[in-house]
Amino acid sequence: MSHAVQASRLKSHIASLETMTRFVLATLALASGVYTYLGVRSLLDGSATVVFFAAIIYSVAVSVAIYGFWTYLIRFLPEMRDAGSRLALLGIMAIGSLMIVAMSSWLNAAALAGSAAVEQHLAVTLEDYTADLDQAHGNALGALSLLPDIQRASERFARLAADEQATGALTGTSGSGSVVQLLSQMSAQMDELVTTIESSRDTVKNGFADGQARLATMRALVSAPGAIAQRSDQFAAEAVALAGVIAALEQTSTAPSVMRAAADLSVGFIAPVADGGTVDLAGRQDQIMATIRTSVDAQSKALAEAAAEILAQPKVPDRRYVPLTSAEAVLRYASDFIPSWAGAISIDLLPAVLVGIMAVVHGAMRRGEDHLDGADRITAGDMLRSLELHEALLAKRQQRQNPAPVDDSSRISEETSAENEERNASGQNVTPLTLGDRKRQET
């Protein structure tokens, strides 16, 4: 009897929970439709009326589809007894679940985490632009690292010129001759290069300050309250301005100019004619100027190599800010919003749990009924209908055994009608017999 009691109780529970099951399915379908409506509105463009009705129609279609899909499954899947039919419905449920995720769940996620996803996109873009600004600033300041070497070379040429003029440290004869002029010329060229590099310092500083101000404004837009669409538009404007600042910093670098100037030191070297009063002095001057030329060549090669290393640094990539809708941002940064995705999908696929529960309950109920005898399977309604049928059969049997007496008047009336019909069929022109005539003939 335990199996009978269990099966009976499960049947009663299923019947009592039918209304609750419908209510749960309807509530989940409605919730999914509401969030789908919010997600669709963020994707559509056009007049407010068109967007409203289009989003309403789509969300209603999604709600009806979800409710109908799970209603069919919760009715039919638990009733399947053979494994083939059950596997077929499970496959259909898997395909339908994927379709529901495709048409509804990602829009639900867009409604749940759309604004946060767009803010995430702004934050990631801000980090990229910050790195670009730092890189452009570093490239622009790269040439400034050559200043100490250039200044030391200029000071060395100037000091040698002063020593040669005062004491004749190079040629052995003091005075302002060809060697002094050449050394002074090299020192002046180095000073000009120093001036060129230092003149770019203020330009780089101002450009970097402008870029930092743009970044501060963009940073404030990322974390500011308010509608994300308006903040995204302002962010895009600031991003365009910052891209211009970064490009200007890239062009501010004096490394190419330093490289050309270093090459000119060697290629454009012009040594003055020795002006010594004696052949010996002139020879010493030529010898010293050749040594200076060698030194200038070495200095030119070192500066050119240093400038080439600066120019070999990676360039700032061309970056363009691309605004994203909330749905696109949710898809791109899905890994950052796993809880929102889980909630959006759960709203649509939670009825699958109900389908599983009903399948388990029906299976347990069938297993309980399999252990019952034939008599235990009969319900009270079946007993009442059986008793009614039994009583009807007994009544018919008694009627056959004890037929009811036939009324003479009825019998005579029927025979009279039959004779009249026979006479009419034979064409005899006789008066039809009446019921009294028939009785008198019988007597």
What is the domain partition of the chain in residue ranges? 2-114+336-377, 118-329, 386-442
Q: What is the helix, strand, coil percentage profile of the chain, to 5?
A: 85, 0, 15
Nearest to 109 by CA among 324, 323, 342: 342
Q: Give the pTM.
A: 0.62
Q: Tell me, what amino acid is at 66?
A: I
Question: In this predicted model, which residue has the larger pLDDT, 167 or 353?
Answer: 353
Question: In this predicted model, which residue has the larger pLDDT, 28 or 385?
Answer: 28
CA dihedral 38, 44, 46, 50 (to 10 degrees): -60
- Is 80 exceeded by the pLDDT of residue 244? yes
Rounded distance between C-alpha atoms, residue 40 and residue 114, angstroms: 11
Nearest to 133 by CA among 214, 233, 198: 214
Tell me what pLDDT residue 216 has.
92
Task: Of 114-128, 134-148, 183-197, 283-297, give the lowest mean pLDDT range.
Answer: 283-297
pLDDT in tens, 174-204: 666 666 777 777 777 777 778 877 777 888 8
Q: CB of 165 within 8 A of CB of 176?
A: yes
Task: Show the tokens assigned to 109.
Answer: 């996620």
- Is 60 exceeded by the pLDDT of residue 424? no
Mean pLDDT of the region 32-41: 89
Task: Show the tokens assigned to 161.
Answer: 């010129």
Tell me what pLDDT residue 429 has.
46
Tell me what pLDDT residue 278 has.
61
What secondary structure does DSSP assign to 23-43, as a single string?
HHHHHHHHHHHHHHHHHHHTT
- Is 80 exceeded by the pLDDT of residue 17? yes
Percent of the chain surpassing pLDDT 90: 15
Rounded distance between C-alpha atoms, residue 81 and residue 89, angstroms: 12
Question: In this predicted model, which residue has the larger pLDDT, 402 or 278?
Answer: 402
Mean pLDDT of the region 387-413: 68
Tell me what pLDDT residue 416 has.
54
Within 10 A of 180 (CB to CB), how many other CB atoms are there? 23
Write the burial class of residue 103 (CB in 10 Å: 0-12 exposed, 13-18 middle, 19+ buried). Answer: middle
Q: CB of 62 within 8 A of CB of 108?
A: no
Q: Confidence class of residue 364 from pLDDT cuts 50, 70 and 90?
A: confident
Rounded distance between C-alpha atoms, residue 46 and residue 430, angstroms: 97
Percent of the chain surpassing pLDDT 70: 76
Place of tokens 């001057």: 285
pLDDT in tens, 68-77: 999 999 989 8
Q: CB of 217 within 8 A of CB of 131?
A: no
Q: Confidence class of residue 414 from pLDDT cuts 50, 70 and 90?
A: low
Tell me what pLDDT residue 1 has.
47
Rounded distance between C-alpha atoms, residue 229 and residue 11, angstroms: 54
Question: In this predicted model, which residue has the larger pLDDT, 393 or 49?
Answer: 49
Backbone CA torsion sign across 428, 429, 433, 438? negative
Mean pLDDT of the region 390-400: 80
Rounded distance between C-alpha atoms, residue 211 and residue 133, angstroms: 7
Q: Confidence class of residue 46 from pLDDT cuts 50, 70 and 90?
A: confident
Task: Show the tokens assigned to 200.
Answer: 């770019």
Mean pLDDT of the region 20-26: 92
- Is 60 exceeded by the pLDDT of residue 435? no
Rounded distance between C-alpha atoms, residue 229 and residue 344, angstroms: 22
pLDDT in tens, 85-105: 889 999 999 999 999 998 888
Rounded distance between C-alpha atoms, residue 55 and residue 79, angstroms: 37
Residue 442: CA atoms inside 13 Å, Cβ hemisphere, count?
14
